[in-house]
Amino acid sequence: MMHKVVAVAWREFSSTVLTKAFFIGAFLIPALAALAIPLIVKLTDEAKAPELVGTIAVVDRSGEVLPGVEQRLSVEGIAGLIAETSAIAREAIAEQLGEQAAQMQEHMDNPMVQAAIAQAFGPPPRLTVEPLPGEADVEVQRDRLKPSAEGDADALVALAVIAPDSVRKAEDAAAYGGYELFVRAKTDDRHIDLIRRALRDAVLEHRYAAAGVDATDVEALTSVSAPRTQEITDTGEARGATSALNMMLPFVFMLLLIMSVMVGGQYLLTTTIEEKSSRVVEVLLSAVSPMQLMTGKIIGQMGVGVVMLSIYMGVGMSTLVAFSLADLVSPEKLVYLIVYFVLAYFIFASFMAAIGSAVNELREAQSLQTPVMLTVMLPYFFWMPITRDPNSVFAIVLSMVPPMSPFAMVVRIASTEPPPAWQIFLSMGITAAFALGCVWFAAKVFRVGLLMFGKPPNFRTLVKWVRMA
Amino acid sequence: MPDAVIMEGITKTFGPKVAVREMNLRVPEGALYGFIGPNGAGKTTTIRMIMSIMFPDSGRLSVLGKASAVESKDRIGYLPEERGVYKKMKVGAFLRLIGRLKGMPGAGLDAKVRGWLERVDLADVYAKRCDELSKGMQQKVQFIAAVLHEPELIILDEPFSGLDPVNMRLLRDLFLEQHAAGRTVIFSTHVMHQAEQLCDHLIMINKGNKVLDASMEEIRARYDPRTILFEPLDPGAAAAAVRGLQGVGSISATNGVLEASLVDGAEPTAVMRRIVEAAPVTRIELRRPTLEDVFIDIVSRDAGSEADEASLRASLREEAAAGARA
């Protein structure tokens, strides 16, 4: 009688997946989101980074800084600044990624990545420095910055006024002077940052020279090397303390599991209620047994969950591959994820099928459904403690006791300290036995519930039906 | 001839309510049987047990030689009382699904579906969604779902409810054709005159008990006519003239038609002759008891029940179709 189960499963699957609503929800929205992110990035880049070409007037009241400013605002000087900035950003990213830093470093040297970084900074400004005498009237010069002046032969894009005491402290003063910068309205903030850095570096350079200290000495003096924190494991091996990425992976695994289990389960509930309330169920029961019907429906919706899981797993894996981080997720971790998906799905789907068969309409399902939903939501609360200490007693117990075991174990498997294999297999065994029990319970309720109309049942009624069937 | 359905001592209870009590019945192969009784009598529960959709609390059941219909579902066609279709599904796809579920091979299935739709004047709904169909059309689609796989046993629960006379006749012809092809047909109805027109054999159910199990001829023979119906030229004068005639019991008049019951032992032909002599008539007949009368008779003879005749009669007619379900 297998072909009947297959026929039911196929109808269940096709009537769910081959619909516009599912296509939009499962494919189109993620695809649009994936397309939209680069598009938005590109749009903001293009919108915010107009080329900055023009004259910057420098009023050097100190009479010393001008050569440094001119050198740093030249095209080569600006390129150097950009390279320095991206190196700093790179170090920050590497710090976050921990163990993957070396790989990442390699990746960052890729010309395409370099181009992407260059893109992020926008086109470098091309500036001509116009030195003005120290006694120049700033008020007058400021008028050349007005947007209405744009296009005039003597228009400015920026005006820097270096304070007279910026290099040498005035007598009795506690601090050095600085500089003032005026820019034309709506100048890109990344360009402003670059000009400010150039001015600051120029001022510093001249201060060091005036004080008779070597710039490299100062840098050496102010830089403190502090490599990443390391943890010492039982085997004496040192490794990076849990980084953000290592925390995220278990969360992503858990989220995938919750989502794919919920999608199929929710559809199962809806279609069962629909079949019952439209009374088509009696026609079906004249052709198949309740057990065949339920099995077919559960398997069909499992296909829906598998489709969802594959989509998101595929997107996730290709993202990881794109960033050369695929080593993070070994194939056996994915296999475990799929096995636990099947187990969790059977537990969850059994309850959904039982509830769907017992009620007359979706509204009545709410009260029965709430405890089941809460159970599936619980992993959100224990994801953090398990990830922090994946082999604590709490984590081990939770990963053995259904119905939480699939979620807890998946978090542990994806963590930096995966559990020993025997624990995984023991947990799978216990969970599989529990899932079978759930299917048995659901089959009993399903058989009685499908033809029961009237007062919506509570859990006690369901148990009574199980005894009856 | 072997029996298609055998029920022995079948009882089914829902909590405190006994839906079917100690039911014994046999439906021989090739027969056309009617299950009749008012709404709530237990017809649908009996049928659901034959279909193995519900299971009896006690008793023995045999369907097409198997202990339960689970093993012979593909050889049974069923039109449930509660008509249901997948609302969003196309009619053609729905019928193909049912065909597949009934174990039909995929090859040639579509041609059969189209052929059947044509036969019931629904060729143009093949690609329509089920919820675009009227109730009557849905019912015809459901009938196709019941007979598409050429079953040996066809069970129709209230097949005529909600149909207009044209479609009622169409459906009746279709299932008489199935009967003529040698298939066993069981149908249930609470409308007695439909059963009277169609069946070879009747099983009457009331309050979960089988109260009558007989062929139409047996019923006619057992309930011989005891009423004379006549239409006098002058109804006012006729009532007085007929009253008191030898062999005439009570007299009642409705719309100029008079009904005279016979007293026990009276010879119908003699009484009719006397009536015609006493008052000129345009029409006179010996009225056969209808199934409704038979049913009322059986029920009111049942010591425990003090049935109100008018409401009982109402429950056996078409208008009561919207009432409580069996």
Instruction: Express each pLDDT in A302-312 by its tens digit.
Output: 999 888 888 88
Which member of A8, A274, A283 has the closest CB to residue B80? A283
The answer to whether B80 contacts A4, with C-beta atoms less than 8 Å apart, is no
CB B262 within 8 A of CB B250: no
Both tokens of residue A70? 């001119």
Residue B326 binned pLDDT confidence (cut-offs 50, 70, 90): very low
Least confident of A111-115, A185-189, B220-224, B237-241: A111-115
Looking at A185, A218, A251, the residue that finishes a domain is: A218
Both tokens of residue A72? 């740093």
Tell whether A401 is covered by a domain. yes
Relative orientation angle of helices A111-121 and A101-109, to the nearest 10 degrees: 80
Nearest to A406 by CA among A271, A285, A257, A275: A257
Least confident of A237-246, A336-345, B234-243: A237-246
More confident position, B299 or B158: B158
Does residue A272 share a domain with residue A212? no
CA distance A298 to chain B (A): 17
Among chain A residues, the shortest Cα distance to B70 is held by A289
A11 at interface of B, judged by CB pairs closer than 8 A: yes
The pLDDT of residue B324: 38
For residue B64, the chain A residues in CB contact (below 8 A) are none
pLDDT greater than 80 at residue B310: no
The pLDDT of residue A348: 92
pLDDT greater than 90 at residue A428: yes
B54 at interface of A, judged by CB pairs closer than 8 A: yes
The answer to whether B87 contacts A278, with C-beta atoms less than 8 Å apart, is yes
Among chain A residues, the shortest Cα distance to B151 is held by A287
The pLDDT of residue A329: 74
Among chain B residues, the shortest Cα distance to A1 is held by B103
Does residue A279 share a domain with residue A185? no
Nearest to B196 by CA among B36, B49, B72, B319: B36
Query: One-letter amino acid identity for B41?
Result: A
Q: Identify from B101, B133, B147, B153 which residue to disrupt to test chain A contact, counting A C-beta atoms within 10 A and taking the largest count.
A: B101
pLDDT digits (tens, 9 = 90+) for B32-44: 999 988 878 888 8
C-alpha B101: how far from chain center: 28
What is the mean pLDDT of the segment spanning A348-353? 91
Q: Identify from A2, A273, A279, A286 which residue to disrupt to test chain B contact, counting B C-beta atoms within 10 A and taking the largest count.
A: A286
Which strands form A158-162's sheet, in the order they lie side by side? Answer: A126-132, A53-60, A158-162, A179-183
The pLDDT of residue B14: 80
CA distance B96 to chain A (A): 10
Does residue A257 share a domain with residue A176? no
pLDDT greater than 80 at residue A391: yes
For residue A16, the chain B residues in CB contact (below 8 A) are none
Does residue A436 share a domain with residue A291? yes
B89 at interface of A, judged by CB pairs closer than 8 A: yes
pLDDT greater than 70 at residue A278: yes
The pLDDT of residue A156: 86
| Residue with the two structure tokens 């040639």 | B108
The answer to whether A285 contacts B51, with C-beta atoms less than 8 Å apart, is yes
List, in sequence order, every residue forming a beta bridge with B180; answer none if it has no partner.
none
What is the mean pLDDT of the segment spanning B252-279? 81
pTM comes to 0.70
Tell whether A25 is covered by a domain. no
The pLDDT of residue B316: 67
Does residue A279 share a domain with residue A192? no
The answer to whether A281 contacts B84, with C-beta atoms less than 8 Å apart, is yes
The answer to whether B97 contacts A7, with C-beta atoms less than 8 Å apart, is yes
pLDDT greater than 70 at residue B211: yes
Range of the structural domain that residue A278 is part of: 242-468
For residue A11, the chain B residues in CB contact (below 8 A) are 97
Tell whether A233 is covered by a domain. no
pLDDT greater than 60 at residue A241: no
Among chain A residues, the shortest Cα distance to B149 is held by A287
The pLDDT of residue B319: 47
What is the mean pLDDT of the segment spanning A390-417? 87
More confident position, A359 or A28: A359
The pLDDT of residue B322: 42
The answer to whether B101 contacts A284, with C-beta atoms less than 8 Å apart, is yes
Query: CB neighbours (10 Å) of residue B7?
Result: 23
Does residue A187 share a domain with residue A72? yes
The pLDDT of residue A444: 86
pLDDT, averaged across chain B: 82
Tell whether A13 is covered by a domain. no
For residue A461, the chain B residues in CB contact (below 8 A) are none
Tell whether A81 is covered by a domain. yes
Q: What are phi and psi of B59, to 5 degrees?
A: 110, 170
The answer to whether B53 contacts A282, with C-beta atoms less than 8 Å apart, is yes
CA distance A359 to A364: 6
Which member of A11, A274, A282 has the closest CB to residue B80? A282
The pLDDT of residue B117: 92
What is the mean pLDDT of the segment spanning A373-395? 84
CA distance B43 to chain A (A): 15
Q: What are phi and psi of A89, to 5 degrees?
A: -60, -40
pLDDT greater than 90 at residue A299: yes
What is the mean pLDDT of the segment spanning A222-228? 76
The answer to whether B74 contacts A287, with C-beta atoms less than 8 Å apart, is yes
- DSSP collapsed to 3 states, chain A: CHHHHHHHHHHHHHHHHCCHHHHHHHHHHHHHHHHHHHHHHHHHHHHHCCCCEEEEEEEECCCCCHHHHHHHHCHHHHHHHHHHHHHHHHHHHHHHHHHHHHHHHHHHHCHHHHHHHHHHHCCCCEEEEEEECCCCCHHHHHHCCCHHHCCCCCCCCEEEEECCCCCCCCCCCCCCCCEEEEECCCCCHHHHHHHHHHHHHHHHHHHHHHHCCCHHHHHHHHCCCCCCCEEECCCCCEEECCCHHHHHHHHHHHHHHHHHHHHHHHHHHHHHHHHHHCCHHHHHHCCCCHHHHHHHHHHHHHHHHHHHHHHHHHHHHHHHHHCCCHHHCCHHHHHHHHHHHHHHHHHHHHHHHHHHHHCCCHHHHHHHHHHHHHHHHCHHHHHHHHHHCCCCHHHHHHCCCCCCHHHHHHHHHHCCCCCCHHHHHHHHHHHHHHHHHHHHHHHHHHHHHCCCCCCCCCHHHHHHHHHHC
The pLDDT of residue A330: 77
Among chain B residues, the shortest Cα distance to A271 is held by B86
Tell whether A232 is covered by a domain. no
Among chain A residues, the shortest Cα distance to B154 is held by A286
Does residue A214 share a domain with residue A246? no
A284 at interface of B, judged by CB pairs closer than 8 A: yes
pLDDT greater than 80 at residue B291: no
Does residue A213 share a domain with residue A249? no
The pLDDT of residue A70: 87
The pLDDT of residue A118: 63
The pLDDT of residue B323: 39
pLDDT greater than 70 at residue A113: no
How many interface pairs between A and B have CB atoms less than 8 angstroms apart? Answer: 63
For residue B97, the chain A residues in CB contact (below 8 A) are 7, 11
Domain count, chain A: 2
Least confident of A291-300, B90-99, B309-318: B309-318
Least confident of A175-184, B240-249, B305-314: B305-314
The pLDDT of residue A220: 85
For residue A3, the chain B residues in CB contact (below 8 A) are 100, 103
B78 at interface of A, judged by CB pairs closer than 8 A: yes
| Residue with the two structure tokens 């069970």 | B155
Does residue A284 share a domain with residue A186? no
For residue A288, the chain B residues in CB contact (below 8 A) are 73, 101
Both tokens of residue A96? 């976050």
CA distance A435 to chain B (A): 26
Least confident of A116-130, A158-172, A263-277, B143-157: A116-130
- Cis status of the peptide bond prior to A403, with omega within 30 of 0: yes
pLDDT greater than 50 at residue B325: no
The answer to whether B101 contacts A288, with C-beta atoms less than 8 Å apart, is yes
The pLDDT of residue A228: 67
Residue B303 binned pLDDT confidence (cut-offs 50, 70, 90): very low
Nearest to A380 by CA among A263, A255, A257, A260: A255
The answer to whether B101 contacts A7, with C-beta atoms less than 8 Å apart, is yes
More confident position, A458 or B198: B198
Does residue A250 share a domain with residue A206? no
pLDDT greater than 50 at residue B282: yes
For residue B98, the chain A residues in CB contact (below 8 A) are 283, 287
Percent of chain A residues past pLDDT 90, beyond the cut: 10
pLDDT, averaged across chain A: 81
Looking at A186, A218, A250, the residue that finishes a domain is: A218
The pLDDT of residue B312: 67
Tell whether A213 is covered by a domain. yes
* ipTM of this complex prediction, to 2 decimal places: 0.78
Does residue A167 share a domain with residue A70? yes
Tell whether A409 is covered by a domain. yes
The interface residues of chain A toward chain B in range 319-358, judged by CB-CB distance below 8 A, are none
pLDDT greater than 90 at residue A469: no
Percent of chain A residues past pLDDT 70, beyond the cut: 83
The pLDDT of residue B320: 44
Least confident of A120-134, A287-301, A442-456, B290-304: B290-304
Both tokens of residue B256? 């100029």
Q: Identify from B55, B57, B83, B97 which residue to disrupt to test chain A contact, counting A C-beta atoms within 10 A and taking the largest count.
A: B97
> How many CA atoms does the CB half-sphere of A321 hold within 13 Å?
6
Among chain B residues, the shortest Cα distance to A275 is held by B86
pLDDT greater than 70 at residue A292: yes
CA distance A468 to A371: 24
The answer to whether B83 contacts A4, with C-beta atoms less than 8 Å apart, is no
Which member of A7, A281, A285 has the closest CB to residue B100? A7
Does residue A302 share a domain with residue A194? no
Least confident of A97-106, B38-47, B156-165: A97-106
Among chain A residues, the shortest Cα distance to B90 is held by A15
B140 at interface of A, judged by CB pairs closer than 8 A: no
The answer to whether A4 contacts B103, with C-beta atoms less than 8 Å apart, is yes
Least confident of A115-124, A356-365, B11-20: A115-124
